[in-house]
Structure 1
Amino acid sequence: MSSRPRALVLVDGEHYPPVILDALASVAGDADVVAAVMLGGGEKLSGPMALGSLPIVEGASQREALERGLDAYSPEFVIDLSDEPVLDSRARNLLIALTAARGVSYRCAGAMFEQPWHHSLPSVPTIAVVGTGKRTGKTAVSAALARHIAAAGARPVIVAMGRGGPDKPLVTRGDVEPPTLATLLALAERGEHAASDSYEDALVAGVTTVGARRAGSGLLGDPAFDTVGEAIAVAEREEPDVLILEGSGTAFPPVRADAVVLVVGGATPPEEMKTPLGYLRLLIADLALVTMAEEPVLSTETLSALSSSNAELARDVPVVRTVFRPAPVGSVAGRAVFVATTAPETAGRSMRTHLEEAHGAEVVGITHRLADRSRLSQELADAGGRYEVLLTELKAAAVDVAARAAVSAGATVVFLDNIPVAVEGDLAAAFDALIGSARTRANMRMQP
């Protein structure tokens, strides 16, 4: 038996078969080509596609033909020798995503799309939280999911990877000793990123977290570098009932989780849904949470693109629309509060209203520049003397700039959570179904 990788080749009838055979001899010399998938076209054919003894796989659509080939031949990678007009860029994006969703790599002229999952699954049910971009609410959703699991009597542990994560996997036991302002300021003094997602998760969810780091993100969401595998090994020693893997920006946790939550920011550009990564997200998702789903942030074009992509992929992924509502970790009732957030300015009015009506705060100002250290410093200086409490999300420059400035001004620092609240759909029921799917699939894969 050959030790070379097995390859499936994509072909069309706009190429003469002898040209395809010559191309295979050139581009597939390092693999055993086991079959060809016929994508369509017939200009250069006088009959059915024939490539010597190579089996030809066909289907009612390009997707069906590819899936039949993947099912029948279990290749390690796919070689794309097709072209327009048979295979346009959007159709190719879909085939790349379909291939990656099966854990198979995709090779075409000038590019190699490696399947994005490189670490082994842990021995417990695992849920990944992935997003359409930065600042879509992955951390808030991960924390809400963890609280939901804990409220049912199970033990969740979150592995959070980030661009400012620790050099070695770091455990924070938020259920035993949540991070304090003093602890976080000490981390900042040592030059560490004291607002990492793992600290935020531990603080607002009250669960154990493990911090990891990553750099870069490929066209299919795979980090160029990460320590997630090591972090999972550390997390398993914490004996979780369910492991939550939190993505970072557009990057996936590089583990094929048992279940996946896709967090879709309400202002996500519609064209993002039609990229290889956009299709892949929906192919692996068990639940889509649209966040910031209220005017003026929400884009109707985003909802339309999500719906049409769901239909195009013939997937019935449940969609729950949510809004974030600010929730101080400590009391701010009757206090003059200055809010520091990464939320867009368009969210400012609803944040102010909720903090005043639901939490009794007197909001004297809001800065949306928590991720802009220079402007944040200036706006905090301008607000000096007007606030008793700095109410800040634990993100970006929350500790090294905002908290330091507040302490210097004699103000109290209270951290701020963002709670996802469903405005269409049942979030609790959706979480229950997601957790149930993760447990069922984990049980199946762990059977001898």
Structure 2
Amino acid sequence: MSETLHIGKTLQRIIKNSKILCLVDGEHYPPVTKWALDHLIKNKGIIKALFFLGGTEKVENAFEELKSKRIDYRIYKSEKNKKIDFELFEEILKTKELDIVVDLSDEPVLDYSRRLKMASLSLKYEKSYLGSDFFFQPPQRSKILKKPSLSIIGTGKRIGKTAVGVTVARLLKNKSFDPVIVCMGRGGPEKPEYINIEKIDISAKTLLEVVEKGQHAASDYWEDALLAGVSTVGCRRCGGGFAGNPFVSNVIKGAKLTNSLKNKFVIMEGSGSTLPPVRTDQNIVLVGAGQSLRKISGYMGQYRLMLADLVIVTMCEEPIADEQKVEEVYKSIKKVNPDVDIALTKFRPQPLGNIRKKKVFVATTAPGKIRDKILNYLEKQYSCEVVGYSKHLSNREKLRKDLDKNLDECDILLTEIKAASIDVAAKKAEKMDVDIIFMHNEMKLTGGDIKNLNEAILNIGERAKRKK
């Protein structure tokens, strides 16, 4: 067998005793396809069905030729104008008797794009997807939460996931959902750490003390606790796969901890494009309007969209994304998940303290091209004077240079919560006797399918409750 089966010992072990749906086409001679099926059987794979994708290059009646008296399997066939019937594929995947999809097709029937769509649909229904030299398995989604829950899932980094998480938590808190947030940052604690907001008053001083202890004071669970005013559980993860599975994490332990807390609702917050390895009742998926369409609705971005109960598109404004780009993003999401509600939004800074009539230094991660909108909004909305600005919270060296220019002329350092905002900016402000005020990036609805963003988010929370 080793002379002809080229998938390697690891993938051979995966096939063994698995219930298989095979993807086949008419570009291969039917006897060759049957020969491949024989090898799957010799490897103790259990073939339950074939899905004929199309193609009649080798023989006109390939579909009929694929029927076999030697193997008991059903054959499904695409009938959609000679294109792959993805709706039929989904119906097949819903059957509980299947474990894995084995791809025996090739170009031109399955190109990169269509193959990744087949993989994403397989993972959506928690079936593995295996081919000649690749293997996608569904991200872990452990059923351990005993309370109503939702996940906040991102399609990338730097698209406002923490800001959205804070907004969601605030809304649920104000409506007596009593939420706790479980975070999974790349700088999280070795053991899950519970921040009880009722027993600790979080301030700039608190975070500076955390830094002094050698800990990561800007980890998401500290940021969420301070900005949202809710209790949090801090976890860590390393690595992230195509479909969002972390390589290693302590999130399962962190999620289990929530079962013993008095909080009544759980928010699982992803990290970048990595998903929480825990099943929740609802999923909010976050998309950045400035991302490429391929990343949003192609590759494995489409898998994340398939999981969505609500999609929030952030940064829907120029110069990040013009009206045409936002419309393209909207349509690309609908193409993947036609029934999902989409909220188009933009961010505006919201200080957590009084900056009225003050001279302010603003530190943020927002790109320089949106600088003027942020500064003009702050000066108009809060009647302050912006004297200094830095977009370099992710670059300590450049941040220090920006602070050196004119922090000494300011009354207040107004900053997002990032690592450098604590161990560089806040430290310097404290030494110079400049007050430190943190800010939240508040979502503003700009369009989409819904009229009221707050109501849409609260509806997601109510749906999660009903599922329990």
TM-score with structure 2 length normalisation? 0.89
1:40 matched residue in structure 2: 54
1:435 matched residue in structure 2: 461
- Identify if the C-alpha distance between structure 1 residues 314 and 244 changes in structure 2 by more than 3 Å, giving closer, same or farther: closer
2:23 matched residue in structure 1: 10
- Identify if the C-alpha distance between structure 1 residues 22 and 3 changes in structure 2 by more than 3 Å, giving closer, same or farther: closer
Measure how far apart 1:369 and its partner are: 0.0
Unaligned runs of 5+ in 2: 1-14
Measure how far apart 1:204 and its partner are: 0.7
Distance 1:385 1:364 in 2: 10
Measure how far apart 1:396 and its partner are: 3.1
The one-letter code matched in structure 1 to 2:34 is: L
1:446 matched residue in structure 2: none
CA contact (8 A) 2:361 2:407 kept: no
Query: Which deviations, in whole Å up to 9, do the C-alpha atoms of 1:306-327 show, x marking residues without a partner?
Result: 3333343352211111111111
- Identify if the C-alpha distance between structure 1 residues 302 and 123 changes in structure 2 by more than 3 Å, giving closer, same or farther: farther
CA contact (8 A) 2:255 2:278 kept: no
Match of 2:67 among 43, 46, 50: 50
Whether 2:196 is the aligned partner of 1:173: answer: yes
2:396 matched residue in structure 1: 373
Whether 2:370 is the aligned partner of 1:329: answer: no
Distance 2:35 2:325 in 1: 44
- Identify if the C-alpha distance between structure 1 residues 238 and 284 changes in structure 2 by more than 3 Å, giving closer, same or farther: same
Measure how far apart 1:284 and its partner are: 0.8
Distance 2:75 2:424 in 1: 62
Query: Which deviations, in whole Å up to 9, do the C-alpha atoms of 1:190-224 show, x marking residues without a partner?
Result: 22111011111100110011111111111111111
The one-letter code matched in structure 2 to 1:435 is: G
SS state at 1:385 partner: helix
SS state at 1:15 partner: coil
Whether 2:234 is the aligned partner of 1:234: answer: no
1:245 matched residue in structure 2: 268
The one-letter code matched in structure 2 to 1:6 is: K
Distance 2:429 2:454 in 1: 37
CA contact (8 A) 1:90 1:274 kept: no
The one-letter code matched in structure 1 to 2:293 is: P
Measure how far apart 1:6 and its partner are: 1.6
Measure how far apart 1:59 and its partner are: 4.1
2:3 matched residue in structure 1: none
The one-letter code matched in structure 2 to 1:247 is: G
CA contact (8 A) 2:296 2:333 kept: no
2:4 matched residue in structure 1: none
Match of 2:452 among 406, 422, 426: 426
Distance 1:319 1:250 in 2: 19
Distance 1:301 1:160 in 2: 34
SS state at 1:72 partner: coil
Measure how far apart 1:268 and its partner are: 1.0
CA contact (8 A) 1:10 1:80 kept: yes
The one-letter code matched in structure 1 to 2:224 is: D
Query: Which deviations, in whole Å up to 9, do the C-alpha atoms of 1:24-63 show, x marking residues without a partner?
Result: 3445625322211111112334532324432212344431
Distance 2:390 2:302 in 1: 35
Measure how far apart 1:22 and its partner are: 2.5
SS state at 1:397 partner: helix
CA contact (8 A) 1:8 1:37 kept: yes
The one-letter code matched in structure 2 to 1:428 is: N
- Identify if the C-alpha distance between structure 1 residues 45 and 347 changes in structure 2 by more than 3 Å, giving closer, same or farther: same
Task: Work out the percentage of aligned pairs sharing the same amino acid.
Answer: 36
1:20 matched residue in structure 2: 33
Whether 2:318 is the aligned partner of 1:284: answer: no
Distance 2:300 2:16 in 1: 31
Measure how far apart 1:23 and its partner are: 2.2
SS state at 1:160 partner: strand
SS state at 1:106 partner: strand
- Identify if the C-alpha distance between structure 1 residues 46 and 320 changes in structure 2 by more than 3 Å, giving closer, same or farther: closer
1:80 matched residue in structure 2: 103
1:31 matched residue in structure 2: 45
SS state at 1:276 partner: coil
- Identify if the C-alpha distance between structure 1 residues 46 and 53 changes in structure 2 by more than 3 Å, giving closer, same or farther: farther
Measure how far apart 1:299 and its partner are: 4.3
Query: Which deviations, in whole Å up to 9, do the C-alpha atoms of 1:132-157 show, x marking residues without a partner?
Result: 21111111111111111111122111
Distance 1:296 1:3 in 2: 53
Distance 1:345 1:186 in 2: 31
Query: Which deviations, in whole Å up to 9, do the C-alpha atoms of 1:209-245 show, x marking residues without a partner?
Result: 1111111111111111111111101122223322111
SS state at 1:7 partner: strand
Distance 1:132 1:302 in 2: 17
Query: Which has the higher mean CA deviation after the structures are superposed, 97-106 or 275-284?
Result: 275-284
Distance 1:95 1:178 in 2: 49
The one-letter code matched in structure 2 to 1:357 is: K
- Identify if the C-alpha distance between structure 1 residues 301 and 176 changes in structure 2 by more than 3 Å, giving closer, same or farther: farther
Task: Supply the RMSD in Å over aligned alpha carbons.
Answer: 2.0
Whether 2:130 is the aligned partner of 1:130: answer: no
- Identify if the C-alpha distance between structure 1 residues 403 and 262 changes in structure 2 by more than 3 Å, giving closer, same or farther: same
CA contact (8 A) 2:289 2:329 kept: no
Equivalent pairs, count: 441
